[in-house]
Amino acid sequence: MVRHTVQWVESGGGPLIAVPETVLPFWAGADGDETASDYDRACELDGPVGLLPVGDSAALVLGDEPASTAYLPDHGTFVRWCAADTEAELLSGVPTALATAEWGEEMRWKVPGPVLLFDSAWPGTETGQADPLRVALTPGPYAVRAAWARPGPETWLGLVQLRPLAQ
């Protein structure tokens, strides 16, 4: 049995999404009567990261690849496992990846508190079945930036970094 040092969130093929706990009931996932479900809206986002309105807040969509994702609080970063033989190999490459990444444009995300990361196809009311990852964020604005990095010849990962901003 493989033991993991961090909790990884998997996707069934679509994007992962970090939804503030306060607005979870408003995320309908792939369900809904509308022509475009919340899941469809998440799939339409172009690029590695984006924001979608949910209730009176916004959710962070991790797009491009449905890679397994963990949150490393020491780095304030979601790490997306694209290629590595082991978790230890991937995690040991994070400091180099953070230092050498070519970051995309920053966006601003106002967070009301903790968020849950899960497969965007799940409704917010059913996240208990989706094996979500709870990320304890302090309420306030964050700068969000994303990059893909290759810290080793056989190690590729995605990074989505959250940096608290002064209010």
Tell me the pTM: 0.92
Smallest Cα–Cα separation from 93: which of 7, 2, 155? 155
72: left (phi over 0), alpha (psi -120 to 50) or beta: beta
Give me the sign of the Cα torsion angle 11, 44, 35, 33. Answer: positive
Tallying the residues shown for the chain, one arrives at: 167
Smallest Cα–Cα separation from 112: which of 16, 29, 26, 33? 26
pLDDT band at 1 (very low <50, low <70, confident <90, very high): very low
The pLDDT tens digits for 59-106 are 999 988 889 999 999 999 999 999 999 999 999 999 999 999 999 999
